[in-house]
Amino acid sequence: MTFRTLDHVQLAAKRAMVRVDFNVPMHDGKVTDDTRLRAALPTIDLLRRAGAETILISHFDRPKGKCVPSMSLRPVAACLAKLLGAPVAFANDCVGPVAKAAVDAMGTGDVLLLENLRFHPGEEANDAAFAKELAENVDLYVNDAFSAAHRAHASTVGLAHLLPAYAGEDMRRELEALQAALDHPAHPVLGVVGGSKVSTKLDLLRNLILKLDRLAIGGGMANTFLFAQGWSVGASRCEKELAEAARDIMLFAEKHACELLLPTDVVVAEQAEPASPTRVVERGQVSDTECIFDVGPGTVRRVLAAIDEANTLIWNGPLGVFEVPPFDKATLAVARHAAERTKAGKLVAVAGGGDTEAALNAAGVASDFTFVSTAGGAFLEWMEGKVLPGVAALEGQAQIDGR
């Protein structure tokens, strides 16, 4: 992949429009999780130090092309200013006279946040006229929102075709980590995939199998594979109608020399409650009233051994109902072991999508992994082998040096 970064760009006195993802959790008008704001700080700091004027654009929630006051980005500006240690101005629109006046009032090193892009229907429609309005007041475009790169919107694709376009620091970090893990990995490569449904991960599994040496499957989706093999899964969540699809995946893995590690033992209970009586049973020994809520200790040992033999780990999804102890044991054990190997310099560990970040945070090891993506849908689509429009737009700009 070829994409341009800001490393050798003359930024002094330039107006840089930066696509960030500030679609953050909010309660009573206050940001409750500033992870995505912190992710944008390296790019903002780089631009400020270089003497650029930084104009931030983002979506928030789903106003469906209408101005919805409760979905304003205004509260985000105050939170960002505290993190940045510098003022962040706010404009009540992202295009038109209001936006132009706010941009014209900027000075060297200033930061401005424009109002919610999705207040305009042209954003999600990737409308050329709307993209042109966004581009009118600026000199260059920076995409620092990998989490929105799977959407072909005016702010992720349209702008990249109108202005010299670059990847921001967080975008660069995501792309380099994913390339290292999926496109040019050090073998052996182990994948760990969990979650509740096979139906949402068929494309992901097929694409990963082409790149992996081993693939461990856990979570509720493993039940479908066990059922497809003829094992009883009791009252567990199971997509029985996808048994044939699961068998196809197993044959596909065999054809491409990817060893599947399915649960050999499981932790069962009648309810996913902390006080529920539990037992560990071999696969197929689940009673009619019991549900599988975690993989068993024997399965964990097999996964830990596979991690010891791997040079690269790609992880998506927990191995059990990790939110409810004691069904978090397998996920925590595997996460902590992978973190130890990573810290020792023996493993490149990349994780993301779904509840993966939350599971690694619960284990207290998210910062010890090589990279943990917060991109959600974009991370999953990348792992499925799909082209992300926002990334492809940057690739198309790779040989353009300015206009």
pLDDT, tens digit, 9 for 90 and up, residues 84-119: 999 999 999 999 999 999 999 999 999 999 999 999
The Cα–Cα gap between 343 and 378 comes to 27
Q: Looking at 168, 195, 218, 354, which residue is catalytic?
A: 354
Q: Is the pLDDT of residue 181 over 70?
A: yes
**Residue ranges covered by each domain of the chain:** 15-170, 177-383
According to the model, what pLDDT value does residue 357 have?
86
According to the model, what pLDDT value does residue 69 have?
95
Q: Looking at 377, 385, 386, 396, which residue is catalytic?
A: 377
Residue with tokens 């404009």: 91
The Cα–Cα gap between 214 and 316 comes to 14
Superfamily of domain 177-383, CATH level 4 = Phosphoglycerate kinase, N-terminal domain (3.40.50.1260)
- pLDDT band (50, 70, 90) for residue 308: very high
The reply to whether 354 belongs to the active site is: yes
Amino acid at residue number 136: E
Instruction: Tell how far CA 301 is from the center of its chain.
Output: 28
Residue with tokens 């991690």: 307
According to the model, what pLDDT value does residue 379 have?
86
Instruction: Tell how far CA 1 is from the center of its chain.
Output: 19
The reply to whether 377 belongs to the active site is: yes
Count CB atoms within 10 A of the CB of residue 199. 12
Q: Looking at 4, 15, 19, 36, which residue is catalytic?
A: 36
Q: Which CATH architecture has domain 15-170?
A: 3-Layer(aba) Sandwich (3.40)
The Cα–Cα gap between 289 and 273 comes to 15
The Cα–Cα gap between 83 and 39 comes to 11
Mean pLDDT of 353-375: 88
Q: Looking at 132, 197, 206, 386, which residue is catalytic?
A: 197
Q: Which residues, in sequence order, are CB contacts of 141 under 8 Å at separation 6+?
A: 16, 17, 18, 19, 135, 159, 160, 162, 163, 164, 165, 166
Mean pLDDT of 56-74: 96
According to the model, what pLDDT value does residue 184 have?
84
Whether 15-170 shares its CATH topology with 177-383 is answered yes
The reply to whether 51 belongs to the active site is: no
